[in-house]
Structure 1
Amino acid sequence: MHGGLDSEKISCIEAILYSEDLNEATKQVASIGDSEMLYVLAANYNWDNGFSIPRAIITNNNCDMSTGLMMFYLSDGIRLLVDKESVEQSGLDEWSKFITEVYSKLEMDVFKRSSISYYPELTKVQLFKLKKSNPNIPGFFLDGIEGNDIEIPMI
């Protein structure tokens, strides 16, 4: 394991995760200048709280590819890879728009590179099916991104 956030950064993440004021929390996310903090925030985010915070994470210039890929998978982006049409017809507009945006940012290499790793938890069967149905998908979507494993405190 590598790194680890100091207590001040963890307190900042806690404040965002448990904030009653979504606008204020979203502003705080926008001001984070540390890729590792965004990664830990993303890993601890409760998706029942909607897409404002996730959107703020992926639009932050310090959001790296690993965090982007994690957000893609945590928001059930795999459904986009399995069956794009079912996502488009899901009626879940905000979700569908979010995963489509994250996918294209990843594909177009918009996120910054960092030393943080992320490996999607895919079974061999899922990998096989995804490779078969998406032969042109960039490899990192399936194989993950190499780098340092960041310790993710559960907040």
Structure 2
Amino acid sequence: MEMKNLEQLRNLLYEEDEVKVLDEINRIENALDLHILARNINMNDGFQVACSILNNPYCDLGTALLLFYDADGYRLLTEDIEKISDRLREWKEFVLLLYNRIVNDEFSNKHISFIPPLGKVDIYKMKKKNPDIPKVFLEPSPGKEIGILSIVEKKRGSQT
């Protein structure tokens, strides 16, 4: 990836005009750029940017899974969603929508692999709580494994 392109993606992450950000994401025609953005967004600010990435026709299944796990979607796989606090309504709507899109195979691009951050014990415990978890959430997705670098600036004293 060219440094110029990385700089453009970094600038997009720090852009304060949300309409401009969403418009720029809609124009991206490269699955890798979308994946890099997904890896670097902060969903604590809301799910608009993540939804824009997911709605881009170039979004890859690996990117969708990355966003699912980054949004703590694994909780959906192991907990009763109805018992999760209504304070988290926006989160519930996002992960449920994303879960259904993944299960319904709505991401036709499958060029970027995502490996779920789960060990054998994690998978065992998850299956014990919910034996019907679709395999797509537990196994590496098809595609090429890509090491994605962080393009956001670290704060002083930050460990990540």
Q: TM-score, normalised by structure 2?
A: 0.86
Identity of aligned residues (%): 34
Give 2:16's aligned amino acid: E
Q: Which runs of 5+ in 2 are unaligned?
A: 152-160
Corresponding position: 1:34 with 2:35: no
Instruction: Give the CA deviation at 1:96.
Output: 0.9
Instruction: Give the CA deviation at 1:87.
Output: 6.1
Using CA pairs below 8 Å that are at least 6 residues apart, which structure has the higher relative contact order?
1
**Aligned match of 1:153:** 149
In structure 2, distance between residues paired with 1:25 and 1:86: 33
Corresponding position: 1:136 with 2:132: yes
* Matched-pair contact (CA < 8 Å) for 1:81–1:134: yes
In structure 2, distance between residues paired with 1:67 and 1:87: 28
- Cα RMSD (Å) of the superposition? 1.6
**Aligned match of 2:50:** 54
**Aligned match of 2:94:** 98
Query: Paired residues, what number?
Result: 151
1:1-46 alpha-carbon deviations (Å, 9 max, x no partner): xxxx222321221122100111110111111111111111101112
Give 2:15's aligned amino acid: S
In structure 1, distance between residues paired with 2:132 and 2:89: 26
Corresponding position: 1:18 with 2:14: yes
Corresponding position: 1:89 with 2:85: yes
Instruction: Give the CA deviation at 1:93.
Output: 1.3
* Matched-pair contact (CA < 8 Å) for 1:116–1:149: yes
Runs of 4+ in 1 over 4 A off after TM superposition: none
Q: TM-score, normalised by structure 1?
A: 0.89
Instruction: Give the CA deviation at 1:86.
Output: 5.2
Q: Which runs of 5+ in 1 are unaligned?
A: none
